[in-house]
Structure 1
Amino acid sequence: MDYIVTGDWTASYADPIRLSPGERVRLSGRADVWEGHRWLWATATDGREGWIPDSLVFEEGGIHMARAEYTATELTCVAGQVLEGLQESHGWVFCRAADGDTGWVPRRHLVVSEG
């Protein structure tokens, strides 16, 4: 599905957290609700930290692990730009720009393209 960006968005993190399926995740206990969705502050095995969707982790034997591959990479974009939406989760859409760059954009900054 294609989207049109309604407001400029600048990526928040230079080196965002990335997780692989089954990777151990350390949760700090910090949580936040953004756009009605719960996010958890986490640290990956490589030391990168960031917010992750609460549905991404599961606990087994007292250890938290990632259910799926995840990156918190955000996509810097400008109003009027057309993006291809690849996945939607927790108030964000993972998009691909015409130049091939990918990343998350807040859903509130996007409208579905009618064309």
Structure 2
Amino acid sequence: MRACAIRDYRRQYANPIRFARGDVVALGARDTEWPAFAWITTTDGNAGWAPVDWLQPQDDGLAVALRDYSAQELDVRAGDIVELHHDLGDWWWCTHADGREGWLPARDLYLINDTTSEETSE
């Protein structure tokens, strides 16, 4: 499935968090705008938003990662076409035509119906 960016989007964090399955992270507050995400801090001290469903909370304020994750966002310009891979909490993991990958908010994308060449709003 593909989508067209309806506005420019610039990544919000210069050093996005990453963790691997089994890593332990410090679990913070849930996001009010994007409730599928919580603020976490990795063992290297980097902090950012991560999907709550991909973490197993422990009793001590820590959580164990249930799968690999990267918070890498994708810079796009309005009109750019991206390939959509999977969605999570109103965000899509995308690949740009130039090969770059990252997350984009669904609200900034216009879905393209490849079977009829029509576009649909997400």
| Distance in 1 between residues matched to 2:69 and 2:40, nearest whole Å | 12
Larger radius of gyration: 2
Matched, 1:7 2:12: no
Aligned residues: 113
| Distance in 2 between residues matched to 1:42 and 1:61, nearest whole Å | 15
* Uncovered stretches (5+) of structure 1, i.e. residues with no partner: none
CA RMSD of aligned residues (A): 1.5
Letter matched to residue 7 of structure 1: R
Q: What is the Cα deviation at residue 51 of structure 1?
A: 0.8
Q: State the TM-score, normalizing by the size of structure 2.
A: 0.85
| Distance in 1 between residues matched to 2:17 and 2:58, nearest whole Å | 21
| Distance in 1 between residues matched to 2:93 and 2:36, nearest whole Å | 17
Letter matched to residue 90 of structure 1: G
Higher RCO (Cα < 8 Å, 6 or more apart):
1
| Distance in 2 between residues matched to 1:85 and 1:60, nearest whole Å | 33
Letter matched to residue 34 of structure 1: E
Letter matched to residue 5 of structure 1: A
Give the stretch that moved more between structures: 61-70 or 37-46: 61-70
Q: State the TM-score, normalizing by the size of structure 1.
A: 0.90
Structure 1 runs of 4+ off > 2 angstroms?
A: 59-63
* Uncovered stretches (5+) of structure 2, i.e. residues with no partner: 118-122
| Distance in 2 between residues matched to 1:92 and 1:34, nearest whole Å | 12
